[in-house]
Amino acid sequence: MNMTRRGFLKTCAWSLFTMGLSSDLPFVRQSFAAEFNIPVLMYHRVGYTEGPLTVTPERLSGDLSRLLGNGYVPITLQQFEDYMFKQKDDLPRRPVLITFDDGYRDNYEFAFPVLQQYGVAATFFVITGMLNDRIRLSPEQIREMAKYRMTFGSHTVNHQSLGSMPPENVAFELNASKLALEEILGHEVTALSYPCGSYNATTLRIAGECGYSDAFTVRQAICTRWLPQLELPRVPVFSYYADVLDRIARAYS
């Protein structure tokens, strides 16, 4: 078939256009992929106990109001993992992942109602060896929260520093906590938070062998897709910080 020069150019343009639409071509996808910066906020306790790790429910409510009012949309751990590790780009323009460490019962009593009031998701890292402690979350509370877009990850069995522990103990802390949570929730647990941010090369290897896909530190920075999956930074939020948006801004520097 003869083709005019104009027809040829039109065909080329159309081919380039359809290549751009295709998600099967990695080199094209790379050039069109959306890149997000994801602050991962790290809270601990919520309530009226003293100390830097506790924010009041009013303060948490104020933080959520500030975040939502400035265009941030809290995402689920699943959305975070899909974007970070599975090349799925359908995130809100300003995503934020909200996390709580240590699994205190006040997360159920005070944080959970506030989160529900704003209709937002959060992720909780619990210490499985303390689940029957009266000041920690119970398995029943975890199951109830999980019905409302709250997700859970491991914060080990005993909350000890993994970076200064024999490898066999690290393997126990990471394996047993993962299995205990999976038993409670009835599905796979993929996320981990290192107690006190302590880890080393052996910890990273064992975390990978145990099947964790993402692990969070206490290093202050913003998450991007190109960071090591088992050394993800967060933005700590302590009671003495005045403004959550200021903390996020500082984590960029």
List interacting residues with Zn ion (CB under 5 A).
101-102, 195
Q: Within 13 Å of residue 194, how many CA atoms lie on the same side as its CB?
A: 27
Residue number, 200 or 224, with CB nearest to Zn ion = 200
Residue number, 101 or 173, with CB nearest to Zn ion = 101
Supply the minimum distance, in Å, between the C-beta of residue 58 and Zn ion: 24
Helices (DSSP H) in 149-238: which residue ranges?
Answer: 167-185, 201-210
Supply the minimum distance, in Å, between the C-beta of residue 237 and Zn ion: 14
CA-based nearest residue to 78, from 126, 179, 146, 32: 146
Residue number, 72 or 212, with CB nearest to Zn ion = 212
The tokens describing 161, both together, are 């520093």
Residue number, 102 or 173, with CB nearest to Zn ion = 102
Amino acid at 66: R
Supply the minimum distance, in Å, between the C-beta of residue 34 and Zn ion: 33
Supply the minimum distance, in Å, between the C-beta of residue 218 and Zn ion: 9
**What secondary structure letter does DSSP report for 157?**
S
- The 10 Å Cβ neighbour count of residue 162 is 26
Distance separating alpha carbons of residues 197 and 209, to the nearest angstrom: 19
Supply the minimum distance, in Å, between the C-beta of residue 187 and Zn ion: 23
Residue number, 95 or 195, with CB nearest to Zn ion = 195
SS3 for 31-69, per residue?
HHCCCCCECEEEECEECCCCCCCEECHHHHHHHHHHHHH
